[in-house]
Every structure is written in structure tokens, then in C-alpha cells.
Structure 1
Amino acid sequence: MTHPHRHASHPRIVSRLKRAEGHLRSVSAMIEEGRPCLEVAQQLQAVESAIRNAKQALIHDHMDHCLDAETDHDRAELKAISRYL
């Protein structure tokens, strides 16, 4: 079994994701209610932005606190995780 991997930033990231999750549910409701496509698209853009920001915060925190560019393993991990930015 692997050990938990937690950072001080994780609770804030989880909070962001939960807000985005609620926002996404609202967008689904908008579609079911027949709201105009422009309004739905704008709200989907906001959800996408919130998720992207949470992802970037997670990745930047990991790069700042978990990786040491001096080791081959960490250099490879840095290269791999930076693809998601």
C-alpha cells in the first residue's frame, strides 16, 4: 500500500473542485431547463477555468515541494507532470 500524499494546499484545491462540481451541476440544470446556449457556454467556460486553475495549483505545488531537479527520477517526473499544464 502506498502512503498518503498530502500537501498543505490540498484542502484549498479540494474546496475549489467542490465549488466547480456544484457549478457543473448548475450548468446541467440550465441545459435541462432549456436556457440559451450562449449562457450555458459561458458557464461551462467558467467551470473549465475553475478546474484548470485547480489543476495548475496542484501541479505547481507538487513542482515546488516534491521535486528536486538534481535527481534523474525527479527530472523525469517534472517533464511528465509539466505536460498537464
Structure 2
Amino acid sequence: MSDQAHASIARRLKRASGHLDTIIKMIEEGRPCPQIAQQLQAVEGAIESAKKMLIHDHLTHSLERSFGAGSPRSRAALKDFKLIAKYL
């Protein structure tokens, strides 16, 4: 994994962690359940986004190492895979 991707994922997870601490306080304060559920959904989304970024980055680098410079056909296949992997 690239250092830049690693740092970006770590930042996302740190924000999610801070947000989760706030949600715990909301629960302890007895805030309304719909507000808490909305915030939990946001944290889930942030974690899901970080997971996708991690997986996409790993697959991209693994495939690039496997294909190397490769033929035009293998480069096209790698490009197609990267495009479709965004939807995972």
C-alpha cells in the first residue's frame, strides 16, 4: 500500500473514532434514538469507505505487480478492473 493511501485511510478512521466517541456521549446523555441512529449511520459509512479504499488500493498494487508493464491487452484488462473495482 502506498504511504499516501495509508495516511488517508488512517485519517478517515481517526475521524470515525472521534465521531464514535461523540455518539457514546450522546447515548450517555439520553439523546433521542433517531439522532443517534443517524450519527451511527455516518460512522458506518466512514468505516465502509476506508475499507473500500484499503481493498481497492491493495488490489490495484497487487495487480500492477503481477501484470508489470505487460502487453496492451493486459494493460487494458487492468484498466477495466480498476474501473469496475470502484463499485465494490
- The answer, yes or no, to whether TM exceeds 0.5 is yes
Determine which of 26, 46, 52 is the counterpart of 1:56: 52
Residue in structure 2 matching 1:40, options 36, 59, 64: 36
Unaligned runs of at least 5 residues, structure 2: 68-87
The count of residues paired between Structure 1 and Structure 2 equals 66
Residues 8-27 of structure 1 aligned to structure 2 (within 5 Å): 8-27=4-23
1:5-28 Cα deviation digits (max 9, x unpaired): x42300000000000000000000
**Aligned-residue RMSD, C-alpha:** 1.7
Q: TM-score, normalised by structure 1?
A: 0.71
Q: Which has the higher helix share?
A: 2
Q: Which stretches in structure 1 are left out of the alignment for 5+ residues?
A: 1-5, 70-84
| Identity rate, percent | 58
Structure of higher RCO (CA pairs closer than 8 Å, 6+ residues apart): 2
CA distance in 1, matches of 2:17, 2:42: 11
